[in-house]
């Protein structure tokens, strides 16, 4: 079993670190375009093996995709990160070319690979990967909704002074500050609706803080977050490799589900050895469905940029 992580920046390295600690693969390949970065970070991780008790091997390589051959899963984190005041959408011109090239190179050496997209704007990059690769739709997955849902649980747990592990809460829609939809009316605390413990104002505060969760961190630390994105990516890879059938929100290709087609956008799905296995329907209110439709319209606008720029 081999897993590849493309991009040895903060998110990629954190993903690889989480994966090696889980001992779910014999080898994790960390690849970066910058000479020595992946090799150095791989050595640093391997020097924790005796302290953390894992047996997996982390291999760092500089832009040599032949070393990724036979990968079962690949995580793409390549691209420039957000800076303060920058939207995920502003990254499209640079990151689209990077993601398209990475997918092409991966498939040359691992034609059966399942690809997890982390690069932003994530929904559009996932759509690009699917359309440019010609892979079956279940083998291209966008990570964003898993991260957004974890941030949603964090906000609820903070307000309730509850364990995040006791919460069920999902975010659907586009992975963007204005397009994600935290479903507060569906959130539960060990099966009890969280709205039973919160005022309307508190619920709306949680929703708003969730939606700007990434931007808040970017403003605080000067770049995109990495601990939670890396953990989210690793959790999804683990569900694939171990065939766990876990339920995540992920950006997947819709063909009529939730009233949308020809788009990758965040909805609840089962993740297992097939990649994403099936979409789980939610009973959305009229308001929630309208928000989802508006989110899809915004994602499509970004997708159209790919065509306007001749990328797709």
Measured distance CA(60)–CA(9) in Å, rounded: 12
Q: Is 175 annotated as catalytic? A: yes
Residue 74's SS3 state is strand
Measured distance CA(95)–CA(301) in Å, rounded: 17
Q: Which residues contact 134 (CB under 8 A, 6 or more apart)?
A: none
Contact present, 131 and 103 (Cβ < 8 Å): no
CA atoms within 13 A on the CB side of 283: 2
Other CB atoms closer than 10 Å to residue 267's CB: what's the count? 24
Measured distance CA(60)–CA(8) in Å, rounded: 9
Measured distance CA(99)–CA(286) in Å, rounded: 36
Residue 247's SS3 state is strand
The catalytic residue among 2, 41, 151, 175 is 175
In terms of Cα–Cα distance, which of 238, 253, 254 is closest to 73?
Answer: 238
**Active site members:** 175
């Amino acid at each position: 079993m081999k897993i590849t992580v493309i991009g040895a920046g903060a998110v990629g390295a954190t993903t690889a670190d989480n994966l090696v600690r889980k001992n779910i693969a014999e080898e994790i390949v960390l690849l970066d375009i910058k000479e020595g970065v992946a090799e150095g970070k791989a050595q640093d991780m391997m020097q924790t093996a005796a302290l953390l008790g894992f047996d997996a091997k982390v291999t760092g390589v500089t832009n040599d995709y032949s070393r990724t051959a036979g990968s079962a899963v690949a995580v793409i984190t390549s691209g420039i990160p957000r800076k303060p005041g920058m939207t995920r959408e502003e990254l499209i011109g640079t990151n689209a070319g990077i993601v398209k090239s990475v997918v092409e190179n991966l498939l040359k050496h691992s034609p059966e690979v399942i690809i997890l997209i982390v690069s932003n704007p994530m929904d559009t990059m996932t759509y690009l990967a699917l359309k440019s690769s010609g892979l079956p739709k279940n083998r291209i997955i966008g990570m964003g909704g898993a991260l957004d849902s974890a941030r949603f649980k964090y906000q609820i747990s903070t307000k309730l002074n509850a364990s995040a592990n006791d919460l069920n809460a999902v975010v659907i829609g586009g992975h963007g500050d204005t397009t994600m939809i935290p479903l507060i009316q569906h959130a539960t605390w060990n099966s009890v609706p969280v709205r039973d413990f919160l005022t309307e104002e508190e619920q709306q505060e949680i929703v708003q803080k969730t939606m700007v969760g990434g931007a808040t961190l970017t403003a605080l630390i000067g770049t995109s977050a990495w601990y939670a994105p890396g953990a989210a990516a690793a959790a999804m890879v683990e569900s694939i490799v171990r065939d766990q059938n876990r339920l995540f929100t992920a950006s997947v290709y819709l063909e009529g589900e939730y009233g949308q087609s020809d788009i990758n956008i965040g909805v609840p799905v089962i993740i297992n050895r097939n990649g994403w296995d099936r979409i789980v329907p939610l009973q959305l209110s009229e308001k929630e469905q309208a928000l989802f439709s508006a989110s899809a319209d915004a994602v499509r606008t970004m997708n159209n940029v790919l065509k306007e720029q001749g990328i797709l």
